Structure 1
Amino acid sequence: MQVEVHTPAPTPLQLVRKAFAPAVAPLETAFIVLVVTIFILLQREDLRDRFISVFGSEDLHRTTTAINDASERLSRYFVTQLGVNVSVGGVIAIGLAGIGVPGALMFGALSALLRFVPYIGIWIAAILATLLGAAIQPQWTMAVSTLIFFIVVDVVAGQFAEPMLYGRRAGLSPLAVVVAAIFWAWLWGPVGLVLSTPLTLCIVTLGRYVDRLNFLTILLGDQPALTPAQTCYQRLLADDPHEALLQANRLLTEMPLIDYYERVVFEGLRFARNDVLRGVLPAAQLARINQALLDIVEDLDSVSDARHASSNQDDALPEIPRDGRAVLCVPGRGAFDEVVVAIVCQLLARADIPCLATTYDEVRATRTGMVDVQTLQSMHAMPSTQSPQAAHLMQSTRVVCVASLDAAESPPYLRNLVRRVRERAPALPIIVGVRAVRREEGLSIADDAGTHLAATLRDLVEECGVALASQPEELAHKPANAGV
């Protein structure tokens, strides 16, 4: 006997269940998220206090600041995103109406709503509108026009409008936004994709206030990972002075040249000096860094004064008589002190202060030779004897400027250098910089009334200008052995 098994025809209820089965799981997730969100909003004050008690009851100030910072960033981000999405939806509605797509207003509202889903939301609306255009017009003109219109609107909004309007509101790097979207979408599906940016923003904000999570802010935040000084030194370590010069040109559009040297170069040299003291910087690499810095200083000599016109230092300096007087710049024996003197000479020249330069070894020698230089690159070929020109330059020295990165520590060799200069030129003022401070306890570089300390480059240039202008004229005619 033959048996046949027939599957009964599905009932209308079964057909409905089969049709809507793919949407059940996302709807369940959305419903759960909605319910949890409602309860969180109803008990937000209580949850806030519990969060503070668990994570930061011992430091209420930092915890409160972190919560306020995160809430402000999220509020600004959502308000800006809402404004952008509504604007994009309005533009799409107007454009689709012009193309002739039916239901343009509906597609505009759908586009504005779906743009809250990063990356894929807008294209869901675009595909639906394109399919509708292809269905009602067999020539494909409406479908192609609709698709091109969506592409143009999304590119303009995503590449121009959003970066300009968001700015640093989100505090996330573009790569962090992409990685966060992939991670949260993998973890929570479509809901994670929608919440990826807000959740990552909260984590990055938390890293700003929790030291152990600071690496998250560095990896995901939009702030530069390195300071300008660290970047400058890193480029020099990588033997890439061209990039260091490009960085200098960029920074000089925002700050005066003297501030660039103070905040970037000198701070970078502080890292380099620490590496020298630790013995991790080979002599060959040290020589390359010095040469690269001297080349950068020489290249920056052509920077227009208009770039640092905000520095009113020149206006504050007294008028210097043109009787041949000059400032003698003396470096210490630090690894980068020749670069420091090159910078000081350049800044003095920009302030219209005549300057000379010598070397540490020349000052220590019995006879001190000096040359008038723009940079210190040619100082290694100095004559070993005092020529008539050197003697004349000695007579023109009216102020001695000792420039060294070691001035802040007041090392014994630098104190001996200042003492040697004072013995050879008892009547001349001595300016010691940079970042030199007067010590209340212990030995100090400035042990007499004629020695002045300069904490910054700006102070150093000002001190040299004032001291040079205040010197009496008859000092210029003293014999050579009276000077340095």
Structure 2
Amino acid sequence: MIDDPVTARRLRDAMPVFTALATCLLVLAIGAILSLGRDVLMPITLAVLLSFVLAPAVRGLQRRRLPRSLAVLVVVLATFAGIGGLGLLIANEASQLASDLPRYTVTMREKIGALRAQAGGGATLERLFQAVQDLSQDLQPQEAKAKGGASSDAEKPMLVEVREPKAGLVSTLGSVVAPVLHPLATVGLILLFTLFFLAQREDLRNRAIRLAGSGDLRATTAAMDDAVARLSRFFLAQAGLNLAFGVVIAVGLWLIGVPSPILWGVLAAILRFVPYIGAVIGMAFPLLLAAAVDPGWSMLIATIVLFAVVEPIAGHVVEPLLYGHSTGLSPVAVILAATLWTFLWGPVGLVLATPITVCLVVLGRHVERLAFLDVMLGDRPALAPSEIFYQRMLAGDPLEAIDKARQVLKERALATYYDEIALGGLRLAQNDRASGALAADRQQAVGRAIESVVTTLGTLPVRKGASAVRSAEIEAAVAALGPDRASTAIVRRPEDLSPAWRGPAPVLVVAARGPFDAAAAGMLAQVLGHHGLSARTTSQDALNKGERPETEGVALVCLSYIEPISTSHIRLAARLARRAIPGVRVMVAIWRERDPAGRDRLRRATSADILVTTISDALDAALTLSGAGEARETRRKAA
């Protein structure tokens, strides 16, 4: 323990720097381990992901009374046999394509020459033409090069070849066997780990639960089982979709006439595991080959149309039906993950980037200690909708809040939006005000920003249906709001109201003295007006100064408080309202009070006729007091 207070204070001040340095060192250490140990870690990762895909097949065979060990062996061997056959097919296609490339480069050279002649030359076309010529010369067999270059041998200098001594038998075998043994060893490790993971699935799950935390065994088990089930369904659905996508692309390219359609179909299916950029990379090679093979442009155009039709259908129609609108990753996280894993593990890392990141995000959503992974990599908003609203008000940017509110109001009522988002932001502002974290000038600025949002939203038309395209943030906001109340769809006509409510403004909303109370009062008056109950707003200060509002035709006075000073203060305001307007009903709205058990006690303490805590509650009460139900019933009986 350090006795010197100055030293202790300096150490406390330096702790954030030490923490940041330790975090950087930890990240660098993990990166070094992943890079240096990729020969072992890559097979393990592939085996884990493959076990997620194969687990449903193993369970299916077990349900048919097949022993687990035999079921695992059958599924894994069948899978690797299929992958091996596909690899041989790809090798044959690639070999055939390599032998035909010199012939295709001639066509491309002629096409570029025609373009150069039409364009009248140019530095860019000249360099492209020279590159194609060089590529054609490099890809031609040695015999053709010899025949074509015999006439110019006299002009070329004599080549001198330096040969090393012949290598021994051991080094020769090593140079021949080493390139073959490494892939075989990798495949063997993947096969071994996949068998182990599938055979010991429950034991590994129990150990993971123990590591995650066995204090609440029920919750941890449910979270782990849910994570494993979600990952299995996701990877299986994605593998099936990408396989179908590759088959469609291969068949389409075969019908168009592009060489080696199977090779490009397999490549498109594999690269589609990488969102956003995988489809573009898989499309680039067939497009280049189509341009090189066809003397015209019809094959290139047909290939572009094929990808332009198949990819949107797979991405925007089939994917949402199978496993939702997205992988659950933010676009920035996908790009960063693809870059990082490609740097660490090469092309295999590019394919594994998205599945690995999905695993990390799912773990972050279910394991409390790893929640930072969901915040960093997931597509769910890091802040709640009310927090985003308040943050925009603090930043002095109400336009962004208005834009997001427009999208939310296409699917939810204005009262619902105000209750769950705007009033939530007001409560956060009130908390900062009460704790002294918000200066007086900032309070006024935030209050004005909120009032500008309320004023703008009051001019928006009634919602007309769900939005077709929504961001993850808007989806989260709509999901957090929940369903609208039935009363939010009712708009009263004057003849539906009782006589006492047919005045020019039957509701008077009185805002308290706080800097944010005027905005809350404006929200309530606006919602009531949208539903046929015209309302005026005034402030408590104006009443105290003797500025009496027009009370003609007022049937309901609503006292609006975000955080009241005391119940006696509210009781005095209610007594003054009844004295100024004989026979008026008094509604007290306390937007911070959410405890249903204490609501009736608080109503009696404030001597209010009605006490509400949400704008939807206030709307329900006002519609009931207006006598609309009785007027409707009278009309029905008269008819």
Q: Provide the TM-score with structure 1 as the length reference.
A: 0.76
1:59 to 2:220 alignment: no
1:330 pairs, out of 510, 518, 522, with 510
Contact 1:327/1:353, CA 8 A, preserved across alignment: yes
Query: Letter of the aligned partner of 2:416 in structure 1?
Result: D
**As a proportion of its length, which structure holds more helix?**
2
Matched residue, 1:358 = 538
CA-to-aligned-CA distance 1:214-250 (integer Å, 9 cap, x gap): 1210111111222222222111111111111111111
1:447 pairs, out of 602, 605, 608, with 605
Q: Once the 2 structures are TM-superposed, how far is the Cα of residue 83 of structure 1 from its aligned partner? A: 2.8
* Distance change (3 Å), C-alpha of 1:441 and 1:402: closer
Q: Distance in 1 between matches of 2:293 and 2:600?
A: 88
Matched residue, 2:441 = 284
Deviates more, 1:61-70 or 1:178-187: 178-187
Deviates more, 1:79-88 or 1:189-198: 189-198
Matches within 5 A, 1:154-169: 161-162=314-315, 164=317, 165=319, 166-168=323-325
2:411 pairs, out of 230, 254, 272, with 254
CA-to-aligned-CA distance 1:411-444 (integer Å, 9 cap, x gap): 5533443344345556422101144567759983
Contact 1:26/1:190, CA 8 A, preserved across alignment: no
1:341 to 2:521 alignment: yes
* Distance change (3 Å), C-alpha of 1:130 and 1:361: closer
Q: Distance in 1 between matches of 2:256 and 2:341?
A: 37
* Distance change (3 Å), C-alpha of 1:291 and 1:126: closer
Matched residue, 2:584 = 428
Q: Provide the TM-score with structure 2 as the length reference.
A: 0.59
Matched residue, 1:176 = 333
Query: Letter of the aligned partner of 1:357 in structure 2?
Result: T
Question: Residue 447 of structure 1: SS of its match in structure 2?
Answer: helix
Q: Once the 2 structures are TM-superposed, how far is the Cα of residue 61 of structure 1 from its aligned partner? A: 2.2
Query: Letter of the aligned partner of 2:294 in structure 1?
Result: T
Matches within 5 A, 1:165-204: 165=319, 166-168=323-325, 170-204=327-361
CA-to-aligned-CA distance 1:310-358 (integer Å, 9 cap, x gap): 8544649762326537222111122211111111211222222233332
* Distance change (3 Å), C-alpha of 1:175 and 1:30: farther
Deviates more, 1:119-128 or 1:68-77: 119-128
Q: Distance in 2 between matches of 1:41 and 1:142?
A: 52
Question: Residue 446 of structure 1: SS of its match in structure 2?
Answer: helix
Contact 1:290/1:336, CA 8 A, preserved across alignment: yes
Q: Once the 2 structures are TM-superposed, how far is the Cα of residue 25 of structure 1 from its aligned partner? A: 3.6
* Distance change (3 Å), C-alpha of 1:426 and 1:369: closer
Contact 2:506/2:554, CA 8 A, preserved across alignment: yes
Matched residue, 2:458 = 301
1:243 to 2:421 alignment: no
Q: Distance in 1 between matches of 2:606 and 2:282?
A: 79
Q: Distance in 1 between matches of 2:299 and 2:529?
A: 64
Runs of 5+ unmatched residues, structure 2: 1-162, 466-483, 629-639
Question: Residue 605 of structure 2: SS of its match in structure 1?
Answer: coil
Matched residue, 1:273 = 430
Q: Distance in 2 between matches of 1:395 and 1:267?
A: 34
Q: Distance in 2 between matches of 1:360 and 1:394?
A: 15
Contact 1:329/1:345, CA 8 A, preserved across alignment: yes
Matched residue, 1:36 = 193
Contact 1:101/1:142, CA 8 A, preserved across alignment: no
2:498 pairs, out of 320, 334, 341, with 320
Q: Distance in 2 between matches of 1:264 and 1:124?
A: 43
Q: Distance in 2 between matches of 1:18 and 1:130?
A: 35
Q: Distance in 2 between matches of 1:441 and 1:252?
A: 29
Contact 2:245/2:269, CA 8 A, preserved across alignment: yes
Contact 2:250/2:264, CA 8 A, preserved across alignment: yes
Instruction: Let me know the Cα RMSD of the aligned residues.
Output: 3.9
Q: Distance in 1 between matches of 2:599 and 2:269?
A: 68
Question: Residue 281 of structure 1: SS of its match in structure 2?
Answer: coil
Q: Distance in 2 between matches of 1:89 and 1:441?
A: 62
Q: Once the 2 structures are TM-superposed, how far is the Cα of residue 117 of structure 1 from its aligned partner? A: 7.2
Q: Distance in 2 between matches of 1:189 and 1:359?
A: 67
Runs of 5+ unmatched residues, structure 1: 371-392, 471-484
